[in-house]
Amino acid sequence: MADDIPSPLPRTTAAVEDYLERIRELIQKKGYARVVDIAAELKISQASVTTMVQRLDAEGLVKYEKYRGMVLTGAGEEVARRIAHRHELLTSFLRQLGLDETVISRDVEGMEHHVSPETFRAIESLSNYLEKNPEVVAKIRPSGTTA
Ligand code: ZN
């Protein structure tokens, strides 16, 4: 059903989405996000983070105040929320398939930025089906892995 497919995200790159995802996590965890925290999370310099955050501010995705840190705007929150939702669903889907956690976290970080809404929907319904049919999961898992 066309109505069920979420509208595409605003034009954002994987890097922008990663920032918004981290900023949202920091705000949820600590109540605020500062350049220094993001630099530590992403393991890059504070100067690079500042440049990116100023760009996100110019694009209307965050509101950045030099000494107080930043908050997500409505649009920024929307992008971050969708990425977080994809992250959670793709992670639990790959877990259902019995994959290793290291592989899962690496692959999800890439997939969440590139999967189309249509493919995401298909994965979501397959994942729901597997959830309700554990006997199917047992058949498709690589041998040697358990639930
Ligand atoms: Zn992610």
DSSP E strands: which ranges in the chain? 62-65, 69-72
Amino acid at site 48: S
Q: What is the rounded average pLDDT of the residues 20-30?
A: 94
Question: How high is the pLDDT of residue 141?
Answer: 81
Topology of the domain covering 14-78:
Arc Repressor Mutant, subunit A (1.10.10)
Q: How far apart are the first and last CA of the chain?
A: 33
Question: How high is the pLDDT of residue 1?
Answer: 44
- How close is the Cα of 90 to the center of ligand 1, in Å? 9
Whether the predicted model's global pTM rises above the 0.85 cut: no
Domain ranges of the chain: 14-78, 81-140
- How close is the Cα of 86 to the center of ligand 1, in Å? 8
The hierarchical CATH code for the domain 81-140 is 1.10.60.10
- How close is the Cα of 118 to the center of ligand 1, in Å? 19
Which range has the worst mean pLDDT, 5-9, 84-88, 122-126? 5-9
- How close is the Cα of 106 to the center of ligand 1, in Å? 9
Length of the chain: 147
Amino acid at site 99: L
CA 35/CA 23 separation, integer angstroms: 9
- How close is the Cα of 60 to the center of ligand 1, in Å? 21
